[in-house]
Structure 1
């Protein structure tokens, strides 16, 4: 499997986390792989001839574009030979800058997303990234009077070790207003995004940890009460155990 990520242009970097291509050769052995919750939305295009599945019930048909709503749970992807995908992974609020879609209705869902103009650009070649940049710059609309960008940056910089109360006070917002902004622009409340970002930090530490580092130390370093708390959150957002993450067992995260 070949997964290649590309950065969007600087004027899009606040909204788009990455473009990517995902390809498997004809001799690739089919495998189930876990995709971790990340609080992001994605558009992905099947430009190959294969029919991979997500969670056994969603078939990704060749020639179709799909939209994955904000992810708060893990997904199992059945990778198969001869797959070719182009993807756009948006930052937690990023999709709202380009499309007017009720994100709270799409949390953890995958739907077909017909966009003929976008599909016309979907060819894996040297010009792909420039074409995508031009397309999304043309669709970009400013998010007026919304502090969602600096708020999410605060959560990422804190690595998920920040409270909703702190954010509300820092940005002079009521908790109710803060939650309303998150539901509108991301689809989930701020508490959920904070938990996901903290989980991502713990997953990174698990993947990079040396054998001598204990689960308890990772839990404490990433803001969990104890190793049991960490294990529950890891299972919730990754679908696998901390030890499986540490071994990098069939993960796409």
Structure 2
């Protein structure tokens, strides 16, 4: 669910960043992501701060902390729509599924789907599909065999 990075500047000064899968932060903490797009959020949880003070083996400790927090009850309260399905569907399509198709599959209007995305990811579904499509093209460029198949 996460990836992290540690930046050290002065002795005793460490900045740790945590990157969540799209929808992951909202599912765990029920905080809308619109205000967090392209910005930094200070997270004042004292247990998490204590955990981050030591950078050794931090990935395992962070994963354990989030696993302990992500019981089914916590994640289910996050919303009545299956955002994990939406995210998976978008990645499986390589960004080629339309917003209308996604809305139909979820039995919601396009506007409701946009609200779900802004709450979970902070951006509209169309922008997210563009990112997925771009990632798909980058992956194809890195793998020459895929580019040959795309030309056909």
Bigger relative contact order, structure 1 or 2, given CA contacts below 8 A and separation 6+? 2
Provide the residue aligned with 1:137 in structure 2. 67
Cα drift, residue 194 of structure 1: 0.6
Whether the 8 Å CA contact 2:114–2:125 is kept in 1: the answer is yes
Which runs of 5 or more residues in structure 1 are unaligned? 1-15, 22-44, 51-60, 66-86, 222-253
Normalising by structure 1, report the TM-score.
0.49
Cα drift, residue 182 of structure 1: 0.8
Provide the residue aligned with 1:58 in structure 2. none
Could you list the structure 1 runs, at least 4 aligned residues long, displaced by more than 4 angstroms after superposition.
none
Normalising by structure 2, report the TM-score.
0.77
Provide the residue aligned with 1:184 in structure 2. 119
Provide the residue aligned with 1:94 in structure 2. 24
| Residues 79-133 of structure 1: CA deviation (Å, up to 9, x unaligned) | xxxxxxxx4321110011222333112222234444432222122334x344223
Whether the 8 Å CA contact 1:64–1:112 is kept in 2: the answer is no
Task: Sort the Cα spacing of 1:159 and 1:182 in 2 relative to 1 into closer, same or farther, 3 A.
Answer: same
Does the residue aligned with 2:18 lie in a helix, a strand or coil?
A: strand
Task: Sort the Cα spacing of 1:63 and 1:116 in 2 relative to 1 into closer, same or farther, 3 A.
Answer: farther
Match of 1:205 among 126, 132, 140: 140
Distance 1:177 1:147 in 2: 13
Provide the residue aligned with 2:56 in structure 1. 125
Match of 1:106 among 26, 36, 39: 36
Provide the residue aligned with 2:3 in structure 1. 19
Cα drift, residue 169 of structure 1: 1.3
Higher strand share: 1
For the aligned residue pairs, the C-alpha RMSD in angstroms reads 2.7
| Residues 10-49 of structure 1: CA deviation (Å, up to 9, x unaligned) | xxxxxx1x4345xxxxxxxxxxxxxxxxxxxxxxx53x23
Provide the residue aligned with 1:49 in structure 2. 9
Which runs of 5 or more residues in structure 2 are unaligned? none
| Residues 137-159 of structure 1: CA deviation (Å, up to 9, x unaligned) | 33332234222110111001111
Does the residue aligned with 2:14 lie in a helix, a strand or coil?
A: coil
Distance 2:3 2:19 in 1: 6
Whether the 8 Å CA contact 1:96–1:185 is kept in 2: the answer is yes
Whether the 8 Å CA contact 2:4–2:59 is kept in 1: the answer is no
Does the residue aligned with 1:19 lie in a helix, a strand or coil?
A: strand
